[in-house]
Every structure is written in C-alpha cells, then in structure tokens.
C-alpha cells in the first residue's frame, strides 16, 4: 500500500488504485525521482519503451489509461479527458515530474491545474490543442487526420490513416498504392490504435 495514494501492489509490480481514486494501473520501473508518464492513443509500451535506459536514474511511473490493460475499460462510450484527470490527479501526490503525450495531455493538464504545487515539471508532447493556432493550415490538417483516427480507429479512410501513422512515426507504412496503409504488423497497430477509438473530442 502506498500511503500517499492508497495504491495496492498487485501482480507484476502493478499498482492498482481503489475506486475512489480510479481503478487504473501504474507500472513503476527504475530508481530515483519519479517521472509520471501519461500516454495518449498509443499504448504505454509503444509510447515510452525508448525511455527504459532512464530507469538507471529515475523511477518511470507509466500510467495505463482506461481501456489499456491491465486498467479497466473506459467509463461510458469511450475515452474522456475529464475522467483521465480524475484518475491522474491523485497520482500527483508524490510530486513527480510529469510527461504527457498526445490525447493524454488533455487529462494531464486538467489534473495539473487542480494540483499545480504537486507538479515538479510538466512536459507536453504533441498536445492536441489545435485552437491555440487558429487558421494555421498545418494545424488544421493535423486536427483533421487526428480526429478521423480518434473516431474511427483503423477503419478511418485509408489516406487519412496513412497520413496519421506517418506523422506519428509508425514503421512500415506503405507508399499509398494499396488500400491498407500497413503491409506488416497489423496486430501491433491494432493494439496501438484501437483503444483510442471513440475518444472524446475538444469540439
């Protein structure tokens, strides 16, 4: 049990939080000051695996947002950044450094606004805050393809999905001559993209 958050440690070192906090799982690896990692539409493993060497100096606390096992499914029809904020806010009790990516930025910002003194530092990667740059054609393009994938997952229009995957740095995206943008690794892409489907939009 972690006194600051009321977490209990389950199998594989996963910390599971009681319903009053939000039954989400957090994996902790490494030693040193804590960095709280909040993923977006891609899985925690896909998003943060490149940070593993930092575990020599830092404790990497990786949040599994709702819909990403071993955390439970989302509340309601899909992802909701306000529910994410309710889940994330109690995790700030340890005063971690916080890094959030993509859709995970939204709930993280709300949580940080609630408890600003509990955030040592805040790093936002690819935040979907399109309204901060109205009229910018590149921002509007990113909003269009991002929303298409957020709503439809792998069923999004192939060109939009191809564009999104390339922008996100996904490997193995084809050259546009086939209907399916992903020639290999379909299962891996399904695991990464599908949980993000039906996420709540800012509009």
Which stretch of 71-75, 85-89, 189-193 has the lowest confidence by average pLDDT?
A: 189-193
Tens digit of each residue's pLDDT (9 = 90 or more) over 12-63 = 454 444 433 457 999 999 999 999 999 998 889 989 999 999 999 999 999 9
Domain holding 146, by residue range, is 133-196
Shared domain check, 171 and 110: no
Shared domain check, 148 and 79: no
Shared domain check, 140 and 119: no
Shared domain check, 78 and 17: yes
Shared domain check, 97 and 191: no
Shared domain check, 188 and 113: no
pLDDT at 179: 56
Pairing of strands 34-38, 59-64: parallel
Shared domain check, 144 and 46: no
- Residue 116 phi, psi (nearest 5): -60, -30
Distance CA 171, CA 186 (A): 11
Tens digit of each residue's pLDDT (9 = 90 or more) over 84-140 = 999 999 999 999 999 999 889 999 999 999 999 999 999 999 898 888 888 999 989
Query: Total structural domains in the chain?
Result: 2
pTM for the whole structure: 0.73
Measured in whole angstroms, how far is the alpha carbon of residue 194 from the centre of its chain? 13
Domain-embedded: residue 151: yes
Q: Average of pLDDT values for 162-190?
A: 63
Going edge to edge, which strands form the sheet with 25-30?
8-9, 14-16, 25-30, 59-64, 34-38, 97-101, 121-125
Positive or negative, the CA dihedral 71, 72, 75, 77 is: positive
Shared domain check, 100 and 32: yes
C-beta of residue 25 within 8 angstroms of C-beta of residue 52? no
Residues 6+ apart with CB under 8 A from 135: none
Distance CA 161, CA 159 (A): 5
């Amino acid at each position: 049990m972690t006194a600051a958050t009321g977490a209990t440690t389950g199998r594989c070192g996963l910390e599971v939080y009681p319903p009053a906090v939000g039954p989400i799982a957090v994996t902790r690896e490494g030693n040193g000051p804590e960095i709280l990692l909040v993923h977006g539409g891609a899985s925690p493993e896909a998003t943060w695996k490149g940070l593993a060497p930092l575990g020599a100096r830092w404790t990497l606390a990786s949040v599994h947002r709702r819909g990403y096992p071993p955390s439970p499914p989302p509340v309601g029809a899909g992802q909701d950044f306000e529910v994410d904020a309710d889940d994330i806010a109690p995790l700030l009790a340890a005063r971690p450094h916080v890094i959030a990516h993509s859709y995970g930025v939204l709930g993280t910002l709300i949580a940080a606004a609630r408890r600003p003194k509990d955030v040592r530092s805040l790093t936002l990667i690819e935040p979907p805050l399109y309204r901060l740059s109205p009229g910018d054609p590149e921002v509007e393009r990113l909003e269009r393809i991002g929303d298409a994938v957020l709503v439809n997952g792998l069923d999004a229009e192939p060109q939009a999905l191809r564009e999104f995957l390339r922008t996100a740095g996904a490997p193995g995206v084809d050259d546009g001559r086939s209907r399916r943008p992903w020639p290999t690794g379909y299962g891996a892409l399904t695991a990464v993209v599908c949980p993000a489907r039906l996420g709540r939009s800012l509009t």
